[in-house]
Amino acid sequence: MEGLLQLLFNGLSVGAVYALFALGYTLVFSVLGVINFAHGAIFTMGAYFTYLLIGGAVGANGLLAGLQFPFALPFWLALPLAGIAAAAVALVVERIAFRPLRDRGSDPLLALITSLGAGVILVNLIQLLVGAESYSIPVGTLGSLPAALSIAGAKVRTVQVMLLAISGLLLAALSIWINGSRSGKALQAVSEDPVTAQLLGINSARVIQIAFGISGFLAGMAGGLVGLSISIAGPYFGIGYGLKGLGVLVLGGLGSVPGAVLGGLIIGLAEACVPADLSGYKDAVSFGFLFLVLLVRPQGLLGRPQANKV
């Protein structure tokens, strides 16, 4: 029992991050039908923004060496602000890498490459500005909470519990927004059928911007939270999550919000179940899963069946 509970905690703590990451992917996918390969870089920027806003200083390398904001915000304020800054970056990415393709009526799959280009620019810009070293959010940021909680004999780091809680809150807020607000419903309409949505008078360009904004906001928050839990491991920090997030996205069903969450938790749990002597194969687990799901149920666990477009 104790072992099982521990396994559950281990899986959920990793899975929550995967889920948060994949949510951003999924929002963009639901309206545009493509993957935003710059998402990992936006996540990374969110982490750096959080670090700077809580008063962190830039190291000795990079153009901004030694930079430090004259103020130090508390973490709970810095995190959403970093999310907003990351949302702004996501909007810029939309403007330069996605909108021109739509304006010209080009194949939407080209966005795979343009967003990759945007991601390459962002990652290298980070390195140019703040260097390659790692930064971290000080351990004491959350105040005097204990480092780990012990629940029925199973252990979990407090930071991970917070991460899980905030992810849950964000997810709930997102669901309420999608189902309860005008813009949320517009998003649903565009993802169902962009042409009809246009006929209904929905400004799809606006909806797409909203999707990017929220996706960037979630990525930024996720970056800040992961930065708190571990550290900001240099400009390539988000890239590893980008690949895992892809697996989560497909497992849950492309474009499905609850699917992204379910997918993240399943992959997190599956990875946690890999026995120690096979831990080298851990990274193959999510992709093995993904591969099988694609073959058996190509639309993913909670996705809608793929339209046979003619």
Partner 1 sequence: MDAGLLEQMLLGALLGLSVYLPLRCGQLSLATPGFFAIGGTVAALLSTRVPALAGSGSTYPITSVLLEMALAALLTGVLALGLGRVVLRLRGIYLAIATIALVEILRVVTLNLEFTGGALGIFGIPQPFNSAAGYAAFTLALLALICWLCDRLEKTRPGRAMAAIRDDELAAASQGINTADTKLLAFVLSALVAGITGVVAAHFLNSWNAKLGNFDASITTLAFVVFGGSRTWLGPVFGGLLLTALPELLRPVGDLRLIVFGAVILVGPLFFPQGVITPELFKWFKPRIGGITTAAAQGVKQ
Partner 2 sequence: MLRSGGLTPAPMKRRLASSLAALLSAAAALSACQGTEDQGPVNLSKGVPVGAVLALTGNANVYGQDQKIGIELSLAALNGAGGVNGKPLSLSIEDGGSAEPSANAAVSLQINRGILALIGPTLSQQSFSAGPIAQRRGVPLVAPSNTATGIPEIGYFISRVSAQSSVIAPLSIAKALQLNPGIRRAAVFYAQDDAYSTAETVIFQQALTAKGLKPVTVQRTQLNDQDFQSQITAALNQKPDLVVLSLQAMDGGNLIRQLRELGYRGAIVVGNGMNTPNIYPICQKYCDGILIAQAYSPELQTPANQRFTAAFAAAQARNPKVSPIPPQLTAQAYTAMQVIGEALARLDRRQPLKGLPLAQARKALMAEILGGTYQTPLGEIRFTPEGEVIQKNFFVAQVRMNAGGKSGRFSLLP
What residue ranges bind partner 2 (CB under 8 A)? 3, 6, 9-11, 13-14, 17, 57-61, 65-66, 68, 124, 127, 131-136, 138-139, 147-148, 154-160, 226, 229-231, 233-236, 239-240, 271-272, 274, 276-277, 279-280, 282-283
Query: Closest distance between partner 2 and the C-beta of residue 139, in Å?
Result: 5
Contact 242, 36 (CB under 8 A): no
Q: Which two tokens stand for residue 294?
A: 């694609």
306 touches partner 1 (CB under 8 A): yes
Least distance to partner 2 from the beta carbon of 300, Å?
24
> In terms of CB distance, is 210 or 270 closer to partner 2?
270
In the complex, least distance from residue 115 CB atom to partner 1, rounded to whole angstroms = 8
Which of partner 2, partner 1, none binds 200 (CB below 5-8 Å, type-dependent)? none
Please report how close the Cβ of residue 122 comes to partner 2 at its closest, in angstroms: 14
Binding of partner 1 by 35 (CB under 8 A): yes
Binding site for partner 1 (CB under 8 A): 33-35, 37, 96-97, 100-101, 104, 106-107, 109-110, 112-114, 116-121, 124-125, 128, 243, 246-247, 250, 254, 280-281, 283-284, 287-288, 290-291, 294-295, 298, 306, 310
